[in-house]
């Protein structure tokens, strides 16, 4: 049963990914990514990480993607010209992508991490639920938690500054 | 369900994201591909967290999500600013630094 | 104070004088600078006299002292000290050099008065005297070479003193290059001496040489021949003599000091000093003697036809130095040095008188245009005649006794050396003829225009300044030569100097009359006592016969000159047309300049041109341009990586990452 769900979610994720890189219209790419994110949330659930799955859906697919949608609507999606100015890029890129994948897989599959080949450790019932994550965040990872909130503040300020109407530069 | 599958899937998604960055020219799509790569990393983290049995990987994944969100915000702000100045939204055309 | 302490002072005063005048040229007024220069040399002479007195207090065998201030280099078997050697020979030279130099400084005090380069002149002149004294007092070969080189430089600086004249600068360069050839010979000789004997110090070298070398071994002959190269270059003997006539481009005091009395005698001093080595290599000594003889005769022939007054006197110098070189090469050491001393007196005097006459002629040196100065310039003409008498070896003058002593020694040595005596007398005849040729051409007769102006107005003639060699007008707005010309009649310092030298020229011979007294020989004996040749002494009879022949020849020469130039003035012209090829040969200086140009200068220029056109252009430039092209090409290739495309940078990034991962995978498997 698990395997079936895994494969379904995997297909969804892969399909979304290929859709992102293959679609001409950026809006369609955004939609493909949303599909991808939902599939990823399913995969997280398969890994009994409920909080992360929820966060993925709510934060990522919900907030971040909405941002994307707004910007794409504002900016519009243009086609890209077919001519490639960089010599050799169209040839080398797929080659390197495949090489990367092969190397990473080889690294994973032939590694001496024996645990990889087995089922995961036995976990208690509360593994991956908000309480567990919350406890970790506030006990062990307090500093990263606070630092990331400062980062969010910076990002927000930065975005406002970048996108603001600066009158004196508009005329340039 | 062994962790190998998840990690290999994560590797595949990562490579796909990398390929997208190399091939696409619209900054929007490049950002989307960056998202792909980050999510692939997230998947690997959560898979290992499940394998090991403690929640540290998941916390890591949550923080990564936060970072991804910040990065998206700034990146989209850049795209909006570029669009406002009527410059072409094409990574190959935006080659020169000018005052 | 010891003799060596006085000797150090002798060196100190001229050096100080040169530095003070040189650095203070703005601050010092002209007269003060001239006074400082003259007094510095005067003090050097005084210290030389003091050193002499101190030396005379020693026993004759013990009259040699060495003293050193500090070590130059004492590594790897070398032990070179800044050391001087005081013995009768060096003190003799010190006295001659500093004495004559003092008088010449006094002369320049008046002669160079309106020249803007006055301070520079005195500074250089003092430096020259310092270097000459250093050469003479040096106690080892290294310091000798140092003094030698300094003298060469000072000569160059003074010959091209009026540096706006192209002929002067070219003459200076010519002198310097030929001197360098001599320097090379000297340095190579020093190297060989060090290699064979292990030391540069005079004492050690002269002691060990007879033990290490057998007679006429090729090393010692080579050493002596190389020393001769140096001596000939400095003393203007064949074939390295071509610089001396050109050196007359310098001011007259320079000619009189450097090219009559001091620098050109350095070669004679060198041979006398290293006589131990030359006695071990008789072949080299004979070569030197024959070269001296050849120079003597050739230079005399050239002086017979010269029309430039100073150049004629220059050739006379060459010829007389030939006598000296001949003398010291065949073993007549004291005689040669005695002739050096008397020659210094009368030659310096001749140059001074010539300078006075040339000044009256507004710097024109052509004797064809000169006449009648006997009436116009009494003092100058009297001193000129005194010098000419001494040069011609008129009986009773100093030149009479010194020249004949050399020839008598050659006769006493006998055998092959009789050639020297015979040809020496032939040379003496020619000397008498040409010296009185100058006298009879310039002094008697109807005054020429300039002389007439002097008689009438008492002023010296003025014209637009012209280069006397080429006749082209020169711009002297830099101030030299000065607008005024100074003659002896109008300048007291010049008269004092010329008077003193005239006295010396006439009466200095009295200290070495054969059979009566022998001051010079007695004084120099300790230096040469180890030498087998010094024991050869002409008998009294030979001496007197020699003197008699010499006197007769002098009178004969004067008589011939009288006939040619006063009694029958058309005779020279007829002789010239009859013997035209000979005359051309003499007048063109035996084509030595052309020969050297053909043999040395042209090949050197050709090599230079070849080096420039081929080697420089293809090899050196090719190497440099090739490197440049290579670097540029490589840079171009590398630069292509930075094309500005983000995606290509990303490609490189991922490619690098993939490569790295591959490496790690492979190395861990």
* Neighbour tally for C351: CB within 10 Å: 29
Higher per-residue confidence, C25 vs C129: C129
- In this predicted structure, what is the pLDDT of residue B99? 47
Question: C628: distance to nearest CA of chain B, Å?
Answer: 29
Tell me the per-residue pLDDT of C283-313, one tens digit each, with 9 for 90 and over: 888 999 999 999 999 999 888 888 888 889 9
- In this predicted structure, what is the pLDDT of residue C25? 81
ipTM greater than 0.85 = yes
* DSSP 3-state of C394: coil
- pTM here? 0.70
Answer whether B4's CB lies under 8 Å from B47's CB: no
Of the pLDDT bands very low, low, confident and very high (cuts 50, 70, 90), residue C444 is confident
- In this predicted structure, what is the pLDDT of residue C58? 78
Strand positions, DSSP E, C63-200: 65-73, 80-86
Residues of B in contact with A116 (CB under 8 A): 2-4, 7, 51
Share of chain A above pLDDT 70, in %: 89
* Window C:620-649, CB contacts with B under 8 Å: 644-647
Judge whether C661 lies within some domain.
yes
- In this predicted structure, what is the pLDDT of residue C150? 93
- In this predicted structure, what is the pLDDT of residue C462? 65
Residue span of the structural domain in which B59 resides: 3-84
Question: How far is it, in rounded angstroms, from Cα A99 to Cα C660?
Answer: 12
- In this predicted structure, what is the pLDDT of residue C531? 77
- In this predicted structure, what is the pLDDT of residue C474? 67
Tell me the per-residue pLDDT of A25-43, one tens digit each, with 9 for 90 and over: 899 999 999 999 999 999 9
CB-based burial label for C525 (10 Å; 0-12, 13-18, 19+) = middle
Nearest Cα to Cα of residue A34 among A8, A1, A9, A60: A60
Peptide linkage before C239 cis (omega within 30 of 0)? yes
| CA trace torsion C155, C161, C162, C166 (10° rounding) | 50
Strand positions, DSSP E, A45-150: none
- In this predicted structure, what is the pLDDT of residue C481? 64
* Neighbour tally for C500: CB within 10 Å: 18
Of the pLDDT bands very low, low, confident and very high (cuts 50, 70, 90), residue C669 is confident
Answer whether C536's CB lies under 8 Å from C413's CB: yes
- Secondary structure letter of residue A60 according to DSSP: I
- In this predicted structure, what is the pLDDT of residue C668? 80
Q: Render the burial of C541-559: b for 16+ CB within 10 Å, e for the rest.
A: ebbeebbebbbebbeebbe
Strand positions, DSSP E, C538-586: none
Question: How far is it, in rounded angstroms, from Cα C478 to Cα C494?
Answer: 25
Instruction: Quickly tell me which residue has 């960089």 as its tokens.
Output: A86
Instruction: Quickly tell me which residue has 């540029």 as its tokens.
Output: C632
- Phi first, then psi, for residue C536 (nearest 5°) are -75, 120
Tell me the per-residue pLDDT of A61-86, one tens digit each, with 9 for 90 and over: 999 999 999 999 988 777 677 777 78
Residue contact C647–A92, C-beta within 8 A: no
CA nearest to A109 within chain C: C665
- In this predicted structure, what is the pLDDT of residue C477? 58
Which residues are paired to C86 by β-bridges? C65
Residues C198-222, mean pLDDT to the nearest whole number = 83
Tell me the per-residue pLDDT of A85-101, one tens digit each, with 9 for 90 and over: 787 788 889 999 999 99
CA nearest to C642 within chain B: B95
User: What is the 3-class SS of C225-277, one letter each residue?
Assistant: HHHHHHHHHHHCCCCCCCHHHHHHHCCHHHHHHHHHHCHHHHHHHHHHHCHHH
Residues of A in contact with C645 (CB under 8 A): 85-86
Question: How far is it, in rounded angstroms, from Cα C396 to Cα C404?
Answer: 12
Question: How far is it, in rounded angstroms, from Cα C130 to Cα C126?
Answer: 6
Indicate the range of A113-117, C339-343, C393-397 predicted with least confidence.
A113-117
* DSSP 3-state of C83: strand
Question: How far is it, in rounded angstroms, from Cα C372 to Cα C376?
Answer: 7
Of C389-398, C467-476, C572-581, which has the strongest mean pLDDT? C389-398
Residue contact B25–C647, C-beta within 8 A: yes
- Secondary structure letter of residue C70 according to DSSP: E
Question: B91: distance to nearest CA of chain C, Å?
Answer: 7
Residues 6+ apart with CB under 8 A from C414: none
CA nearest to B95 within chain C: C644
Judge whether B91 lies within some domain.
no
Instruction: Quickly tell me which residue has 């002297």 as its tokens.
Output: C476
Tell me the per-residue pLDDT of C489-529, one tens digit each, with 9 for 90 and over: 777 888 888 888 888 888 887 777 776 767 777 788 778 77
Residue contact B96–C645, C-beta within 8 A: no
Higher per-residue confidence, A119 vs C39: C39
Of the pLDDT bands very low, low, confident and very high (cuts 50, 70, 90), residue B68 is very high
Residues B31-55, mean pLDDT to the nearest whole number = 92
Mark out chain A residues that contact chain C at CB-CB < 8 A. 85-86, 89, 92-93, 96, 99-100, 103-104, 106-107, 110
| Mean pLDDT score across all residues of chain A | 86
Residues of C in contact with A92 (CB under 8 A): 651, 655
- In this predicted structure, what is the pLDDT of residue C236? 86
* DSSP 3-state of C72: strand
- In this predicted structure, what is the pLDDT of residue A167? 62
- In this predicted structure, what is the pLDDT of residue C49? 92
- In this predicted structure, what is the pLDDT of residue C464? 62
Answer whether C324's CB lies under 8 Å from C343's CB: yes
Judge whether C609 lies within some domain.
yes
Question: How far is it, in rounded angstroms, from Cα C221 to Cα C277?
Answer: 9
Neighbours of chain A (3+ CB pairs under 8 A): B, C
Question: How far is it, in rounded angstroms, from Cα A60 to Cα A57?
Answer: 6
| CA trace torsion A63, A64, A65, A70 (10° rounding) | 90
* DSSP 3-state of B41: helix
Answer whether C229's CB lies under 8 Å from C184's CB: yes
- In this predicted structure, what is the pLDDT of residue A108? 83
* DSSP 3-state of C372: coil
Of the pLDDT bands very low, low, confident and very high (cuts 50, 70, 90), residue C644 is confident
Distance of CA C365 to the CA centre of its chain: 21
* DSSP 3-state of C82: strand
Q: How many domains does chain B have?
A: 1
Question: How far is it, in rounded angstroms, from Cα B74 to Cα A155?
Answer: 6
Residues C649-669, mean pLDDT to the nearest whole number = 90
- In this predicted structure, what is the pLDDT of residue C229? 92
Answer whether C283's CB lies under 8 Å from C244's CB: no
The pLDDT of residue B80 is above 70: yes
Vertex C99 angle, CA C93 and C102, to 5°: 135
| Mean pLDDT score across all residues of chain C | 85
Residues C217-223, mean pLDDT to the nearest whole number = 86
Question: B97: distance to nearest CA of chain A, Å?
Answer: 15
Nearest Cα to Cα of residue C136 among C196, C209, C87: C87
Of C358-372, C438-452, C491-505, which has the strongest mean pLDDT? C491-505
Domain boundaries, chain A: 1-78, 134-166
Question: How far is it, in rounded angstroms, from Cα C88 to Cα C98?
Answer: 15
Question: How far is it, in rounded angstroms, from Cα C485 to Cα C251?
Answer: 12
Q: Render the burial of A103-128: b for 16+ CB within 10 Å, e for the rest.
A: bbbeebeeeeeeebeeebeebeeebb
Indicate the range of B61-70, C101-110, C193-202 predicted with least confidence.
C193-202
Instruction: Quickly tell me which residue has 């050491």 as its tokens.
Output: C333
Residue contact A64–B69, C-beta within 8 A: yes
Question: How far is it, in rounded angstroms, from Cα C472 to Cα C468?
Answer: 8
- In this structure, CATH architecture of domain A1-78: Up-down Bundle (1.20)
Share of chain A above pLDDT 90, in %: 49
What DSSP string runs through C480-548?
-S-SS---GGG-HHHHHHHHHHHHHHHHGGGGG-TTT--HHHHHHHHHHTT-SGGG----HHHHHHHHH
Residues C165-176, mean pLDDT to the nearest whole number = 88
Judge whether B41 lies within some domain.
yes
Residues C166-187, mean pLDDT to the nearest whole number = 90
The pLDDT of residue A168 is above 70: no
| CA trace torsion C356, C358, C359, C362 (10° rounding) | 160
Instruction: Quickly tell me which residue has 């022998």 as its tokens.
Output: C518
- In this predicted structure, what is the pLDDT of residue B36? 95
Of the pLDDT bands very low, low, confident and very high (cuts 50, 70, 90), residue C228 is very high
The pLDDT of residue A172 is above 50: no
- In this predicted structure, what is the pLDDT of residue B47? 92
Nearest Cα to Cα of residue C119 among C593, C433, C480: C480
- In this predicted structure, what is the pLDDT of residue B43? 95
Residues C598-614, mean pLDDT to the nearest whole number = 86
Residues of C in contact with A93 (CB under 8 A): 651
Q: Render the burial of C33-51: b for 16+ CB within 10 Å, e for the rest.
A: bbbbbbebbbbbbbbbbbb
Judge whether C616 lies within some domain.
yes
Neighbours of chain C (3+ CB pairs under 8 A): A, B
CA nearest to B25 within chain A: A80
Q: How many domains does chain C have?
A: 1
**Helix C166-197 and helix C202-212: axis angle, to 10°?**
60
Question: C638: distance to nearest CA of chain B, Å?
Answer: 19
Asked if the C-beta of C665 comes within 8 angstroms of chain B's C-beta atoms, the answer is no
Residue span of the structural domain in which C650 resides: 593-626+645-668
State both tokens at C344: 């210094």
Answer whether A140's CB lies under 8 Å from B54's CB: no
CATH of the domain at B37: 1.10.287.3510
Question: How far is it, in rounded angstroms, from Cα C563 to Cα C401?
Answer: 26
């Amino acid at each position: 049963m698990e395997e079936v769900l895994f494969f379904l979610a995997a297909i969804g994720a892969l399909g979304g990914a290929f859709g992102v890189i293959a679609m001409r219209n950026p809006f369609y790419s955004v939609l493909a990514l949303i599909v991808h994110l939902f599939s990823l949330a399913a995969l997280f659930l398969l890994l009994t990480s409920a909080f992360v799955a929820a966060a993925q859906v709510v934060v990522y697919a919900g907030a971040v993607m909405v941002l994307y949608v707004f910007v794409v609507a504002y900016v519009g999606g243009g086609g890209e010209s077919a001519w490639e100015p960089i010599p050799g890029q169209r040839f080398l890129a797929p080659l390197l992508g495949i090489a990367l994948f092969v190397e990473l897989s080889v690294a994973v599959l032939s590694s001496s991490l024996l645990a990889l080949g087995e089922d995961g450790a036995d976990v208690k019932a509360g593994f991956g639920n908000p309480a567990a994550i919350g406890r970790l965040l506030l006990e062990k990872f307090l500093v990263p938690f606070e630092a990331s909130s400062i980062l969010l503040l910076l990002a927000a300020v930065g975005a406002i500054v970048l996108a603001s109407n600066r009158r004196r530069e508009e005329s340039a | 369900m062994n962790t190998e599958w998840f990690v290999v899937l994560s590797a595949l998604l990562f490579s796909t994201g990398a390929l997208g960055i190399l091939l696409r020219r619209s900054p929007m799509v490049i950002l989307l591909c960056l998202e792909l790569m980050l999510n692939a990393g997230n998947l690997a983290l959560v898979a290992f967290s499940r394998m090991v049995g403690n929640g540290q990987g998941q916390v890591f994944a949550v923080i990564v999500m936060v970072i991804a969100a910040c990065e998206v915000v700034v990146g989209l702000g850049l795209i909006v600013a570029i669009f406002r100045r009527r410059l072409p939204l094409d990574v190959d055309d935006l080659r020169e630094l000018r005052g | 104070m010891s003799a060596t302490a006085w000797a150090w002072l002798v060196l100190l005063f001229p050096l100080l004088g040169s530095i003070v005048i040189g650095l203070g040229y703005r601050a010092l007024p002209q007269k003060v600078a001239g006074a400082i220069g003259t007094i510095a040399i005067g003090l050097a002479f005084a210290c030389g006299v003091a050193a002499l007195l101190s030396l005379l207090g020693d026993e004759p065998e013990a009259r040699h002292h060495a003293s050193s201030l500090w070590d130059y280099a004492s590594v790897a078997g070398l032990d070179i000290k800044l050391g001087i050697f005081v013995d009768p020979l060096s003190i003799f030279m010190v006295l001659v050099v500093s004495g004559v130099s003092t008088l010449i400084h006094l002369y320049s005090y008046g002669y160079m008065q309106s020249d803007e380069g006055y301070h520079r002149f005195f500074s250089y002149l003092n430096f020259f005297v310092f270097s000459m004294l250093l050469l003479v007092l040096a106690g080892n070969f290294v310091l000798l070479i140092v003094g030698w080189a300094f003298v060469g430089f000072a000569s160059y600086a003074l010959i091209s003193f009026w540096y706006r004249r192209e002929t002067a600068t070219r003459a200076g360069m010519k002198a310097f290059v030929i001197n360098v050839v001599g320097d090379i010979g000297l340095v190579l000789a020093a190297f060989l001496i060090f290699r064979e004997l292990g030391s540069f110090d005079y004492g050690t070298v002269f002691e060990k040489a007879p033990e290490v070398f057998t007679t006429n071994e090729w090393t010692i002959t080579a050493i002596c021949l190389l020393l001769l190269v140096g001596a000939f270059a400095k003393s203007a003997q064949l074939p390295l003599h071509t610089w001396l006539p050109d050196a007359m481009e310098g001011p007259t005091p320079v000619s009189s000091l450097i090219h009559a009395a001091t620098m050109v005698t350095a070669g004679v001093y060198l041979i006398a000093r290293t006589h131990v080595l030359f006695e071990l290599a008789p072949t080299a000594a004979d070569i030197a003697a024959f070269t001296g003889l050849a120079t003597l005769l050739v230079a005399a022939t050239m002086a017979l036809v010269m029309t430039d007054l100073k150049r004629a006197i220059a050739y006379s110098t060459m010829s007389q130095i030939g006598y000296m070189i001949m003398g010291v090469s065949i073993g007549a050491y004291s005689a040669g040095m005695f002739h050096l001393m008397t020659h210094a007196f009368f030659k310096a005097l001749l140059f001074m008188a010539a300078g006075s006459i040339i000044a009256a002629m507004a710097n024109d040196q052509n004797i064809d245009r000169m006449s009648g100065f006997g009436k116009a310039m009494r003092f100058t003409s009297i001193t000129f005649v005194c010098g000419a008498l001494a040069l011609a070896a008129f009986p009773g003058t100093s030149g009479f006794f010194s020249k004949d002593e050399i020839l008598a020694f050659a006769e006493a040595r006998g055998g092959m050396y009789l050639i020297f005596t015979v040809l020496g007398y032939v040379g003496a005849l020619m000397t008498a003829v040409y010296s009185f040729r100058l006298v009879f051409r310039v002094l008697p007769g109807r005054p020429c225009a300039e002389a007439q102006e002097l008689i009438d107005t008492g002023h010296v003639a003025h014209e637009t300044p012209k280069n006397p060699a080429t006749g082209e007008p020169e711009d002297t707005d830099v101030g030299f030569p000065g607008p005024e010309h100074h003659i002896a009649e109008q300048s007291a310092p010049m008269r004092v100097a010329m008077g003193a030298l005239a006295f010396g020229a006439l009466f200095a011979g009295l200290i070495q009359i054969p059979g009566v007294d022998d001051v010079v020989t007695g004084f120099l004996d300790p230096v040469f006592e180890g030498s087998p040749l010094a024991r050869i002494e002409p008998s009294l009879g030979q001496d007197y016969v020699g003197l008699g022949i010499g006197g007769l020849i002098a009178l004969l020469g004067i008589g011939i000159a009288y006939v040619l130039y006063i009694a029958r003035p058309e005779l020279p012209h007829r002789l010239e047309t009859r013997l035209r090829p000979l005359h051309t040969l003499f007048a063109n200086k035996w084509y030595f300049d052309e020969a050297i140009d053909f043999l040395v200068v042209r090949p050197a220029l050709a090599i230079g041109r070849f080096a420039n056109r081929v080697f420089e252009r293809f090899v050196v430039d090719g190497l440099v341009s090739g490197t440049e092209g290579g670097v540029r090409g490589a840079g171009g290739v590398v630069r292509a990586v930075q094309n500005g495309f983000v995606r290509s940078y990303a490609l490189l990034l991922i490619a690098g990452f993939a490569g790295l991962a591959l490496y790690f995978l492979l190395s861990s498997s």
